[in-house]
């Protein structure tokens, strides 16, 4: 029923979620590449990873708020 009422909004949210997941995977792969050669700066990398997760969550929430 919801899909019939608002097909564009639900598809937009799905596209945004898939896109954010792909972006997050790419960032995670890059962070793993950074972690591999440099073992001394692991705390900084972990901090970066946390901030990336937080920013992605904020963007996702903001996108959902804009859609509804």
For 10-27, write each residue's pLDDT tens digit.
Answer: 677 777 777 777 777 776
Alpha carbons 52 and 28: distance in angstroms, whole number:
9
Q: Which helix (H) or strand (E) holds 34?
A: helix 7-35
Mean pLDDT of 5-11: 61
Share of the chain above pLDDT 70, in %: 47
Nearest to residue 19, comparing CAs of 51, 47, 52, 59?
59
- The reported pLDDT for the residue numbered 66 is 78
Domains in the chain: boundaries:
2-67
């Amino acid at each position: 029923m919801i899909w019939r009422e608002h097909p564009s909004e639900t598809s937009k949210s799905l596209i945004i979620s898939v896109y954010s997941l792909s972006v997050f995977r790419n960032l995670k792969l890059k962070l793993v590449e950074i972690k591999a050669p440099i073992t001394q700066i692991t705390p900084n990398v972990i901090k970066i990873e946390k901030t990336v997760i937080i920013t992605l969550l904020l963007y996702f929430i903001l996108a959902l708020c804009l859609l509804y």
